[in-house]
């Protein structure tokens, strides 16, 4: 079970894909944690969707629109969503990585753009002072 990307921005759709024996499963997004295969499905999922594995593969599926900064995991749970079940797989079984939801990226040119704006304002001021003296 894995997300299509290791990181998303707030508002981006989170996509998952994976491999599993043919059947119906629940894929759920939870805050990053320590997951043990075979444990009962935890409560507190932020989002979940029922997925079907066919020919051993779960097709790429949108599971969530990232709404908050943080580190999250996707759990694959036996049975359809809302029926309980046990953890079959986790996108990250540890407490560190998972997939990340990040803030909006600050454009790399913004410091340069600010510098150019300040420089233009300064030049305008110098020009205005020079034209007043003439």
What secondary structure, in 3-state letters, does the chain show? CEECCCEEECCCEEEEEEECCCEEEEEEEEECCCCCCCCECCCCCCEEEEEEEECCEEEEEEEEECCCCEEEEEEEEECCCCCCCEEEEECCCCCCCCEEEECCCCCCCHHHHHHHHHHHHHHHHHHHHHHHHC
- Does residue 112 share a domain with residue 90? no
The domain of 112 spans: 107-134
Q: Does 73 share its domain with 36?
A: yes
The predicted pLDDT at position 77 comes to 96
The reply to whether 97 and 121 lie within a common domain is no
Tokens representing 118 are: 């300040």
Task: Quote the pLDDT of residue 94.
Answer: 57
Report pTM. 0.72
Q: How far apart are CA 104 and CA 46, in angstroms?
A: 21
Percent of the chain whose pLDDT exceeds 70: 87
pLDDT tens figures, 11-55: 999 999 989 999 999 999 999 988 899 999 998 899 999 999 999
Confidence band (pLDDT; 50, 70, 90) for 107? low
Please tell me which residue, 102 or 110, carries the higher pLDDT value.
Answer: 102
In angstroms, rounded to a whole number, what is the distance separating the alpha carbons of residues 94 and 39? Answer: 15
Q: What is the mean pLDDT of residues 65-83?
A: 93
Taking the CA atoms of 13, 17, 23 and 27 in sequence, report the sign of the dihedral they define: negative
The total number of structural domains that make up the chain: 2
**Does residue 4 carry a pLDDT above 80?**
yes
Same domain for 22 and 45? Answer: yes
Same domain, 89 and 112: no
Q: Determine the average pLDDT of the residues in 59-80.
A: 93
Both 66 and 121 in one domain: the answer is: no
Among 68, 75, 65, 67, CA closest to 98? 75
Question: Residue 125: pLDDT above 90?
Answer: no
- Asked whether residue 17 falls in the same domain as residue 77, the answer is yes
Are residues 92 and 125 located together in one domain of the fold?
no
Mean pLDDT, residues 64-79: 93
């Amino acid at each position: 079970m894995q997300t299509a990307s290791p990181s998303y921005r707030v508002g981006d759709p989170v996509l998952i894909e994976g491999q599993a024996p043919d059947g119906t499963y629940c894929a759920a997004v939870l805050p990053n944690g320590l997951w043990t295969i075979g444990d009962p499905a935890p409560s507190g999922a932020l989002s979940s969707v029922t997925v079907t594995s066919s020919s051993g593969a779960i097709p790429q599926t949108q599971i969530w629109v990232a709404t908050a900064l943080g580190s999250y995991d996707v759990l694959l749970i036996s049975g359809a969503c809302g029926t309980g079940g046990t953890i079959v797989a986790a996108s990250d079984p540890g407490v560190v990585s998972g997939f990340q939801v990040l803030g909006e990226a600050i454009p790399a040119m913004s410091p340069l753009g600010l510098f150019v704006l300040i420089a233009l304002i300064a030049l305008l001021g110098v020009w205005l002072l020079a034209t007043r003296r003439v």
